[in-house]
Amino acid sequence: MNNSIAITKRNIKIFLRNKISVIGMLLLALIPLLVTLVLKDIMSLWYVDSFDSKSDAVTALIVSTIGTTVSMVILVTTSTLVGQISSDYDNKIMRSFLTAPIKRTEIVVSYMISSLLMAYLFSFITMIIGCLLILLVGGQFIGIGTLIKLTLYLIPCSLAFSSFMFMLNARIKTISTSKVVNGLNSGLMPQIAGAYFPLTLFPVIVVKILAFLPILHVFTLLKKVIATPTIIALTNDKTLAEQEQVLEALGLRVVIDGFVLTETIMILALIGFTIIFTAISFLMMKNTKEK
């Protein structure tokens, strides 16, 4: 346990010490929101038919993008923290971990915990700023109860991404390869997981495949909790079926073969992903050679 705590502290210190990297990481995570704020008039045209006015469409777009931004912060933070593994391999530090009297499970846990803590911290701050921005653009406050629930939801979201990213990085032993893998994961996956475009634009098979990855559940869950109150308020003159269509268009409601991904289902899926990816990570680290 002491070894895990020591390595966790060390990973966090390395992460926070590199201020340029932290700032760059946050700017990368904020891209969806920045792009939306700049191109809101153009992007809102996709949804203008669903609302009574263009201003409502703009508000809906910005509010839904805030959920995406919080998700991106978790994804990019976990990628950056866990990506430290490749640097440790390059600098022979991982070899000292593997040959020292430290359990392999402790190594896995230390990287995942440091990733979890930083992802939670930065996503929580982003969430609070996002909720304030919702009020500034005329959106609906999510409420104290929902805010508390959302704060709790950040834990399984961060855990799922941390375990997933560790599994991807466990055998990557060069910084350049790690940057490529994590760059593709942070840049490409959100594209097809509803970060920038509605899931309804993609083939059903793509959505089905994404259902077996944590990224779809994290992005959908956080967007749903953060943006749904505003969308419902903006469409209160519409029928339930029409509201559901709007929610699907904004990526706040995902239906796969008639099966709706509810909050409970997504939380259970994230817990399941965490268990599976952590178990795989333990096995991968156990079989890693001491060299």
91 pLDDT more than 80: no
CA distance 122 to 28: 13
Average of pLDDT values for 111-134?
88
Cβ neighbours around 48 below 10 Å, total:
16
Domain boundaries, the chain: 2-286
Per-residue pLDDT tens digits for 31-71? 777 777 777 777 666 666 777 777 777 888 788 888 888 88
- pLDDT score at 245: 83
Per-residue pLDDT tens digits for 173-204? 777 777 777 776 766 666 666 666 677 777 78
Per-residue pLDDT tens digits for 153-177? 999 999 999 999 888 887 777 777 7
> In 3D, which of 58, 18, 12, 60 has the Cα closest to residue 243?
60
Say what the pTM is.
0.85
Of the listed ranges 12-16, 134-138, 231-235, the one predicted with least confidence: 134-138
Average of pLDDT values for 109-133?
88
Contact 159, 214 (CB under 8 A): no
Contact 168, 191 (CB under 8 A): no
144 pLDDT more than 80: yes
Contact 111, 84 (CB under 8 A): yes
Pairing state between β 255-256 and 259-260: antiparallel
CA distance 185 to 179: 10
What are the E-state strand segments in the chain?
255-256, 259-260
Burial readout 147-182 (b: 16 or more C-beta within 10 A, e: otherwise)? eeebeebbbbbbbbbbbbbbbbbbebbebeebeebb
CA distance 240 to 221: 20
Pair of tokens at residue 198 = 């509605």
CA distance 77 to 27: 11
- Average model confidence (pLDDT) for the chain? 82
CA distance 123 to 72: 9
Residue 215, C-beta contacts closer than 8 angstroms, at least 6 positions apart:
75, 161, 189, 190, 193
Task: Give 239's DSSP letter.
Answer: -
288 pLDDT more than 90: no
